[in-house]
Amino acid sequence: MIVLVSEVNASTNLSSLVTALSKHYRVELISLLQKEPLFFRSLNGSNILLRVLLSPGAYATKYLSSIAFLFHRLRNDPDSLVLVSGFKAQSIGIPLALLARMRHRVYIRHHADIHHRWGRFHWYLLDILISRISTKIVAVSELVATILQQREFVSAKRISVIWNGIDLEEFARIRNVRLGKLNLSNNLVVVARHTKDKGIEIALEAFSIIIREFPLLKIKIYGSRGDATPFIHKRAKSLPADSVSFIEKYCAHDQIYSDAQILLHLPVATRAESFGLVYLEGLAAGLQCFYTETGILTTMKHRFGSHYWAIKMKDEYSLVDSLRTYLHDGTGKPEIDLSDLQDFSLENISNKYVDLISELTV
């Protein structure tokens, strides 16, 4: 039995993982935070049991009763493997699994050193605690693995690197849709939560300059609100009417990428992205991608570097120059072949989890 404790947020990675694991094990998915009911409808099978313990806006008494239920569930089956995904989920699930004396406590480390950099010392200590009491840690990139070893003193033997993945068939369909559309070159897109380290401010500053030369340009910013939201909304108001749009709810990949030609992803620190799934999505969708290099690009530049425009961090003029070159000449970076992204396919990534769990439970 695999007990998967997670924060569900329309994650195709999670859906694929549950489906793959259910072919070999009975999987009980316990959601601590349900944001996308449609996610649950996509999962079915006799080997999958779904539970929703919490939902946004739940009262404190609901949290306490849910934690009590989770502890009771884990204590009754100590030989199961608990797999935890998400910071909130790991903060609850791994300590409860330890108290329940579960033999296999595995958590997927999605974030890099954000708690170190932001000076949130209590969260940093919590990171160290969770790392210490887990029996295995899955790092989503080599960068995360390095942070675990150097900053949180985790032995390399307790770390496995398994990347995040994308649905290559879905992005093949998006490419075909884009081929049938005209005049996409005026459409820019940003996909990032509104936090200061994502570089949305840099994107808007560059856009405010380049739109003077190319007045038909439009930019859509997809992502939920964060600490940078007030600034970027204020900056957008100074730009031509209808040139900037904000979409702050969840959207499917085809909604985001099918109508765009240019993707801007401009994190402002070398460790601002632990992985950077958006990097792969832009390449897979066949867009012209303008990236600062963090996350997966720090180790994969030799594979992907010829397929995107490399932008200097915190430098809107570097972005302006590259955009100007592309928009004037119309000659972009070559599309990557989807077969070159096979290592990041959901099927391949999910199988790596199956292999890891098989090793742990022998």
Pairing relation of β-strands 48-52 and 27-34? parallel
Q: What are phi and psi of 55, to 5 degrees?
A: -140, 160
pLDDT score recorded for residue 119:
62
Segment 210-228, tens digit of pLDDT: 999 999 999 999 999 999 9
Listed as own residue / partner, the contacts of 325-331 with beta carbons closer than 8 Å and 24 or more positions apart are 326/262, 326/288, 327/185, 327/210, 327/213, 327/214, 330/185
- pLDDT exceeds cutoff 80 at 297: yes
- pLDDT exceeds cutoff 90 at 59: no
Helix or strand (DSSP H, E) at 138: strand 136-139
CA atoms within 13 A on the CB side of 64: 3
pLDDT score recorded for residue 64:
75
Q: Compute the distance between CA of residue 322 and CA of residue 19 in angstroms, rounded to an integer.
A: 42
Q: What are phi and psi of 221, to 5 degrees?
A: -115, 110
For residue 276, how far is the Cα from the chain centroid? Answer: 6
- pLDDT exceeds cutoff 60 at 296: yes
- pLDDT exceeds cutoff 50 at 38: no
Number of neighbouring beta carbons within 10 Å of residue 339 = 8
pLDDT score recorded for residue 10:
43
Amino acid occupying residue 92 = I
* CATH architecture designation of domain 2-165+345-360: 3-Layer(aba) Sandwich (3.40)
pLDDT score recorded for residue 86:
84
Q: Where in the chain is the domain with CATH 3.40.50.2000?
A: 2-165+345-360, 168-343
Q: Compute the distance between CA of residue 210 and CA of residue 322 in angstroms, rounded to an integer.
A: 10
Per-residue confidence band for 57, with pLDDT thresholds at 50, 70 and 90 = low
- pLDDT exceeds cutoff 90 at 114: no
Segment 150-198, tens digit of pLDDT: 999 999 999 999 999 999 999 999 999 998 887 788 899 999 999 999 9
Are 199 and 223 in contact by the 8 Å Cβ rule? The answer is no
Q: What are phi and psi of 204, to 5 degrees?
A: -70, -35
CA-closest candidate to residue 131, choices 80, 84, 73, 165:
84
Which CATH number fits the domain 168-343, given the four candidates 3.90.79.10, 3.40.50.2000, 3.90.1150.10, 3.50.50.60?
3.40.50.2000
